Amino acid sequence: MSAVLARAVPVGRIVVDEAERHYFSMDAFWQGEVPEAIVVPESQEEAVAVVREAVGAGYAVVPRGGGMSYTRGYVPNSSRTVVLDLRKLNRVIDINDADMAVTVEAGCTWMQLHEALTRQGLRTPYFGPMSGMLATVGGALSQNSMFYGSATYGTVAESVIGLKIALATGEVVVTGSRANRGGIAFHRHFGPDLTGMFLSDTGAMGVKLEATLRLIRDPPHTQVGSFAFERFYDLIEVQAEVARRRLAAECFGLDPYLNGSRTLVKDLKQGLKTLTGVATGGRGLAKGLADAFRVARAGAGFMEDVRYSMHVVTEGEMPDIARWRLEEVRKLALKAGREIDPTIPTVCRAAPFKHPGQYLVGHSGERWVPIHACIPLSRARAVFDATMQYFDCHQSLLDQYHICTSHLTAVAGMDLIFEPAFYYPDALSEFQLRNLLPEEARRYGSLPAVPGATEAVRAMLRDLAELYMRLGAVHQQIGKFYPYRESLEPATLRLIEAFKGVVDPAGLMNPGALGL
C-alpha cells in the first residue's frame, strides 16, 4: 500500500509504525481495527491525491482531525483503511472583514482561528468547543459541535457559509455561493442547501478541505453569572426561558456530581494556572486582575452546598446591553434559585480552550465517557425522568463496578443538550494517556484493569441511545455509535443512501459512519 500512496505524497508522510497505527485506531472510548497506514498531507492537492489513490486501490479512507471524538467517528471498521490525518492543513486562508466571512482549511484548530480573528476584533458566531486547543474546524463540522456562542447562535453548522470537499470519486466540489462559476464565498443558500449535506456527516460524504464561516464583530462587553438550584426541574425551566429569549451566549448547567468533584478549580496547582489565565484573559488589565482576585477569593470550595448550578455569559456591543441581559437572567433564576460566585463562567471565557487532560478522566483518574441527546425545550423533563429511571433500574450494576454518573445541560439555540456521563475505574487506554497532562499520565498510567467495567458501560450507552431514539432525540456527534440509520423514516433513508451512492459509489469513505 505504501507504494500506491507514495504516488500521492512523499514517503516520509506515510506512517506505518505499528504503535502509531494502533493509536489511530481508537478514540476517547472505542477501539477499532488497526489501519494499514496513516497519511499526513501538507496540501489540499496531496489530500485529494491520497483519496484518489487509496479508493482506487480498494481501501477505505477515514478523515481525522484533532481526534477528540468518543462516538467511533473516525475509528476504522476494517484494517484495509487509510487514515487521513488533516492537522497540517491548518491555514487561515482569508479573513474578509468587508463581507464578514473567514475561510480556513479543515485542520485549523479553533484556538488558532480564534486567536487570528481576535487580533482583528472579529469572531465566528459559534467559536469552538472546550477542546478547541486540539479540535479542528473540519472535525467540528463533521460532528456539528456546540458550546462557545451556542446559546445565541446554535451549533457550528449554523455558522457555515460554504465548503470545499474532496469526494471519494476524486472530484473536488464547492458549495454555497462559491459554486457559482466565478463566485465567491459569501452566501450559503444558492439553490438547495448542498452545504448541509456535508455537515454532521462524520466524514461519510467526503473529506472537508476548506470551510467558510460567517464573522461577527467580537462583542466588546461580557457579563457572567452563576446560580444554584435545589431541583433539576427549576434549572431547566430557567435554561428554557433563557433559550427562548436568546439572553445568553453560553448557558450550561451542572449536576451535583459535576459541582462536587470536577469544578475547574480543583487544587492549588491547577488553581494557580487558572488564576494566570483569568488575569491575562480579561478585556483589560484591571478587569483581568479583578476577575482573578474574585476567583482566588472564591477558592476551590465555591461550589460547596450546591446541588444544581447554571452558568451564563451575556454579551453586548454596549456595557448596558450585556448587563441588562444578565439582569434578565438573574430575575428568572432568583425565582427558584440563588446567586453564587461566577467563577466557572469567568474561567471559561478567560481561557476558553482547555487541555483535554482536564476532562478526559475523572478527578481520581476514572475513565470518562458521555452520551448526549439534543431535545426540544418541552421534552427536557421527560428525557431527564427516563434517564434517572434507567439509572435507578441499573443501580446494582453501577454499584458493582463503582460507576458514577453525571448529567450536564446546555442551550444550543432553541434546543437543549442533555449529556449524561459515566465515570468508572479501569485501566486507561493509550488514547487517554497520550492526551492527559504529563503529570496526570504519570499518576494514572498504572491504574489496574477492572474486568467487565468497560463492557458494562458500553451496554448502558447502547441502552440509553435506544431510549433517546424512542423519545425523539437527535444527536450532534453521530459517528458510528448512535442509531442514525435505524431512526430514519424509510423515504428519508433512501434519499440519504442515494446521495451517499453519488458521492461515494464504492462505499469507501469512512464506512460505517452514520450507519451507511
d(CA 318, CA 132): 28
Contact 297, 342 (CB under 8 A): no
Residue 164 dihedral angles phi and psi, to the nearest 5°? -120, 125
What are 20-33's pLDDT values in tens digits? Answer: 999 999 999 999 99
Which pLDDT belongs to residue 267? 45
Nearest to 54 by CA among 79, 80, 77: 80
What are 446-492's pLDDT values in tens digits? Answer: 999 999 999 999 999 999 999 999 999 999 999 999 999 999 999 99
pLDDT: is 355 or 423 the higher one?
A: 423
- pLDDT band, residue 182 (cuts 50/70/90): confident
Is residue 260 scored above 80 in pLDDT? no
Is residue 131 scored above 70 in pLDDT? yes
- pLDDT band, residue 263 (cuts 50/70/90): low
- pLDDT band, residue 6 (cuts 50/70/90): confident
Which pLDDT belongs to residue 362? 87
pLDDT: is 160 or 276 the higher one?
A: 160
Contact 251, 151 (CB under 8 A): yes
What are 353-386's pLDDT values in tens digits? Answer: 888 877 788 888 999 999 999 999 999 999 999 9
Is residue 309 scored above 90 in pLDDT? yes
Nearest to 310 by CA among 250, 222, 376: 250
Indicate whether this model's pTM tops 0.95: no
| Fold of domain 221-352 | Alpha-Beta Plaits (3.30.70)
Rounded mean pLDDT of 244-251?
97
What CATH architecture is 92-217? 2-Layer Sandwich (3.30)
User: Where does 357-470 sit in CATH, by number?
Assistant: 3.30.70
Rounded mean pLDDT of 281-300?
57
Distance (Å) of CA 425 to CA 23, 110, 422, 455, 509: 21, 31, 10, 12, 35
Is residue 226 scored above 90 in pLDDT? yes
Q: Do domains 221-352 and 357-470 have the same CATH topology?
A: yes
SS3 string of 274-289? HHHHHHHHCCCHHHHH
Grid coordinates representing 94?
482569508
- Residue 23 falls in which region: left (phi positive, over 0), alpha (psi -120 to 50) or beta: alpha
- pLDDT band, residue 272 (cuts 50/70/90): very low
d(CA 371, CA 382): 17
Output the average pLDDT for the chain. 92
Nearest to 148 by CA among 369, 324, 412, 360: 412
Is residue 439 scored above 90 in pLDDT? no
Run of H or E residues at 97:
none
- pLDDT band, residue 7 (cuts 50/70/90): confident
Which pLDDT belongs to residue 269? 45
Domain boundaries, the chain: 2-87, 92-217, 221-352, 357-470
Domain 2-87's class?
alpha beta
- pLDDT band, residue 279 (cuts 50/70/90): low
- pLDDT > 90 fraction of the chain, expressed in percent and rounded: 81
CA 202, distance to chain mean position in Å, is: 12
Distance (Å) of CA 178 to CA 85, 173, 252, 280, 338: 26, 10, 36, 39, 50
Which pLDDT belongs to residue 499? 97
Which region among 2-6, 307-311, 469-473 has the lowest average model confidence (pLDDT)?
2-6
